[in-house]
């Protein structure tokens, strides 16, 4: 399929990069293609960024048939633009599509379209360390119907935004609140898929947690309310008594994060014992009491590696590593960002250069 390109006549001024925040500004162009369950994907195009015109009866408005991904483009020290493991995002998005009854797509084609889009928008990639251009591919069901059914028609879209740190704390350790009232995901549900619908129910609990003075919410399993699942927009990793421990994906309730996978691969490569298994709140607080909770950090594309300095559960608090960034958190952050900004050679096939 060809990609038709229509350039804007009114390019927007770029923000001062230090004021870019997280997704406050959007670039000049976006990628769109239409899909129909019978016809397949068609009309791939790069067009000026702007509103989508949609019928109010579009299924996404009523039954949330939507998928999305989070990726970033980095401006390297050599002036080249790099993506980090983009094939993993495409693969995961198609897995989401299966679960959400959305048409699957050709990941190689979308990556080619993304390269074209980024080449047009290269001046929107901040040439600044610790900043990137956030990439948001998403897909919505825009067939019209008010009966509960899967859409026959879809829009696949990619938009771009220059970004700095996701959390206002940046790399400074966050305070997390382990949620004991609400749950995010249940076994057999959609918690392991990247669908907007998973986030809607987390907004109000997240606001309550922010109002209590914490930076992020940490979810527990829905069945026993004992086991830690994930944190706000990220996965969570603990270092307990020198071992790297993280909640297992086997329950199907946790997002299989790409930064999570990267972290575990690096930790194994560096000789750490890595355990993917149920991690109870009790175990984490016990380790803290015994001085064995060495580190905790959240992992995600938006959040990168975000150290956790304090955890709270039902009035009890534990301080982690004196609220300082721990050595493994720092090492992973450095390794990942060195690859992303081209400061280190990629020997693992994780980097895609946009050209």
Rounded distance between C-alpha atoms, residue 202 and residue 217, angstroms: 9
Question: Residue 53 CB, nearest distance to ligand COI (Å)?
Answer: 26
Q: How far is the CB of 70 from ligand COI (least distance, A)?
A: 2
Nearest-approach distance from CB 135 to ligand COI, in angstroms: 9
HSE (CB half, 13 Å, CA atoms) of 289?
Answer: 7
Q: Which is nearer to ligand COI, 176 or 303 (CB)?
A: 303
* Nearer Cβ to ligand COI (111/303): 303
Q: Which residue is nearest to ligand COI (CB)?
A: 70
The Cα 338–Cα 111 span in angstroms is 23
We find the least distance from the C-beta atom of residue 200 to ligand COI, in angstroms, to be 12
Instruction: Work out how close the CB of 248 gets to ligand COI at its nearest, in angstroms, rounded to a whole number.
Output: 20
Q: Using the minimum distance from each CB to ligand COI, give the nearer residue, 166 or 313.
A: 166
Q: Which residue has the tokens 């972290």?
A: 263
Smallest separation (angstroms) from ligand COI to the CB of 233? 4
Nearer to ligand COI, 262 or 294 (CB): 262
- Nearest CB to ligand COI, comparing residues 47 and 64: 64
33 in Cβ contact with 41 (< 8 Å): yes
Q: Which residues bind ligand COI (CB under 6 A)?
A: 70, 233, 300-303
- Spatial contact of 333 and 344, defined as CB atoms under 8 Å apart: no
Tell the residue number behind the tokens 């830690």, with chain if given: 228
In the complex with ligand COI, the residue whose CB is nearer, 70 or 342, is 70
Least distance in angstroms from the C-beta of 194 to ligand COI: 7
Q: Which is nearer to ligand COI, 44 or 303 (CB)?
A: 303
């Amino acid at each position: 399929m060809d990609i038709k390109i229509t350039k804007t006549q009114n390019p927007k001024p770029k923000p001062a990069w230090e004021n870019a925040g997280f997704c406050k500004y959007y670039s000049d162009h976006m990628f769109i293609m239409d899909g129909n369950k019978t016809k397949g994907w068609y009309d791939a195009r790069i067009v000026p960024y702007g509103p989508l015109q949609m019928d109010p009866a579009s299924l996404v408005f009523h039954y949330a048939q939507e998928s999305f991904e989070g990726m970033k483009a980095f401006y390297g020290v050599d002036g080249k633009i790099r993506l980090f493991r983009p094939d993993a995002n495409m693969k995961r998005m198609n897995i989401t599509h299966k679960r959400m009854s959305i048409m699957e797509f050709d990941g190689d084609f979308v990556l080619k379209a993304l390269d074209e889009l980024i080449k047009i928008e290269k001046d929107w990639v901040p040439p600044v360390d610790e900043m990137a251009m956030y990439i948001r591919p998403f897909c919505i069901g825009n067939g019209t119907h008010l009966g509960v059914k899967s859409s026959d028609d879809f829009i696949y879209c990619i938009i771009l935004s220059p970004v700095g740190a996701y959390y206002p704390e940046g790399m400074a350790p966050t305070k997390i609140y382990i949620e004991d009232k609400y749950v995010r995901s249940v076994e057999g549900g959609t918690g392991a898929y990247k669908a907007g619908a998973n986030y809607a129910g987390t907004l109000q609990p997240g606001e309550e947690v922010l109002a209590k003075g914490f930076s992020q919410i940490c979810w527990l399993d829905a069945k026993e309310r004992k086991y830690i699942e994930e944190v706000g927009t990220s996965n969570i990793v603990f270092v307990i008594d020198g071992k790297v421990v993280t909640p297992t994906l086997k329950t199907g309730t946790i997002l299989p994060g790409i930064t999570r996978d990267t972290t575990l691969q690096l930790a194994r490569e560096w000789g750490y014992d890595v355990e993917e298994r149920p991690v109870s709140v009790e175990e984490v607080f016990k380790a803290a009491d015994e001085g064995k909770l060495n580190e905790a950090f959240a992992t995600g594309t938006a959040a990168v590696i975000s150290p956790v300095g304090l955890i709270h559960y039902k009035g009890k608090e534990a301080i982690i590593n004196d609220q300082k960034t721990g050595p493994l958190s720092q090492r992973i952050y450095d390794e990942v960002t060195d690859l992303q900004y081209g400061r280190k050679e990629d020997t693992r096939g994780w980097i895609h250069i946009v050209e």
